[in-house]
Amino acid sequence: MATENALYTILVEKIKQDTLVLPTLPEVALKVRTAADDPDINLNQMSDIIAQDPALSLGMLKVANSALLGRSVKVETVSQAVTRIGLRQIKSIATAMAIEQVFVSQNEIVAMYMKKSWNKTIDIASVAISLMSTYLKDHKHTSLSLDTITLAALIHNIGVLPILTEAESHPDVFANPTFLQQAIIKLSGRIGGSITRAWGFSEELTLLAESWSDLTVLPEEVHYLDFIRAGAIYHNVFKNESTKEALLSNYVKKGVLSDIDYMESEEFKDMCADVKAMFT
């Protein structure tokens, strides 16, 4: 498809020349991440930073009151939410909650794809976070954490944004649903790695953005990739049935899933719905 190839050529050339316009991390997320790295920061100061952004404040309250944290008493203030979540986790959680702010566009077709991409991201994240929650109950000494999978799941497909931005810049040529999705499939991983590096994220998160859809990358030990890919399987992102079966069987062996049909249980579906409510 000539147009798709043209889009690919433009994007690859911009990557080579370091001229690809990457999305910037929302300002409030930058402030939170900088503050979290300050050894002298305290809960009240962090609360003040988060309280400056109404959307992030609401997100923090939803997380603090979620079933994931297992607290029956609801918190009502940002300060209480930050205290419950904790300074160690707040960096990843606040960044994750702010990510939605970069999925915006003035072009109708591109905006449709932005919304579609974000909704799919939330769907996959809800499964990944739910699975991590159950995994942590049985593996209390693992280095994996809920705050990291939350951020990882919400940035795993961030590479779609420059592709859609390029489409927005050339709406007559590129904002065409018939091939835009194919361009996203081919290019988003590589670009996602560029974005996470530009944002100063860890190599682990960069690996996730680059490799979550590359099934030649198969970690031997339990990895955040496993949880995100399980979410992708659940929401039919991966189409090949034998591939899905092989991955699910591997996740049972690794302990990511209790059994191969676990994600079809009502218990799990209810948990996913609770997690999804944090982002909607």
Q: Does the residue 94 lie in any domain?
A: no
Q: How many Å apart are CA 217 and CA 210, to the nearest integer?
A: 10
Q: Does the residue 157 lie in any domain?
A: yes
The domain total for the chain is 1
Q: 173-198, pLDDT tens digit by residue?
A: 555 666 677 778 788 898 999 899 99
Q: Domain limits at 127?
A: 2-24+104-279
Q: Does the residue 250 lie in any domain?
A: yes
Token pair for residue 128? Answer: 């990944």
Q: What pLDDT shows up at residue 276?
A: 93
Q: Does the residue 239 lie in any domain?
A: yes
Q: Does the residue 83 lie in any domain?
A: no
Q: What pLDDT shows up at residue 177?
A: 66
Q: What pLDDT shows up at residue 5?
A: 63
Q: What pLDDT shows up at residue 96?
A: 93
Q: Does the residue 50 lie in any domain?
A: no
Q: Buried (b) or exposed (e) across 66-80, using 16+ Cβ within 10 A?
A: bbbbeeeeebeebbb
Nearest Cα neighbor of 193 from 219, 165, 154, 155 is 155
Whether the CB-CB separation of 137 and 165 falls below 8 Å is answered with: no
Q: Does the residue 32 lie in any domain?
A: no
Q: What pLDDT shows up at residue 79?
A: 94
What are the 10-residue block averages of pLDDT along the chain, 280 residues in total? Answer: 64 80 91 93 94 93 83 87 90 93 83 89 96 94 94 95 81 64 81 92 94 93 97 94 95 96 95 91
- Any idea what the CATH number is for the domain that residue 143 is in? 1.10.3210.10
Output the pTM of the full model.
0.90
Q: What pLDDT shows up at residue 14?
A: 83
Q: 60-74, pLDDT tens digit by residue?
A: 999 998 877 766 788
Q: 96-123, pLDDT tens digit by residue?
A: 999 999 998 887 877 888 898 999 999 9
Q: Does the residue 257 lie in any domain?
A: yes
Q: How many Å apart are CA 128 and CA 212, to the nearest integer?
A: 12
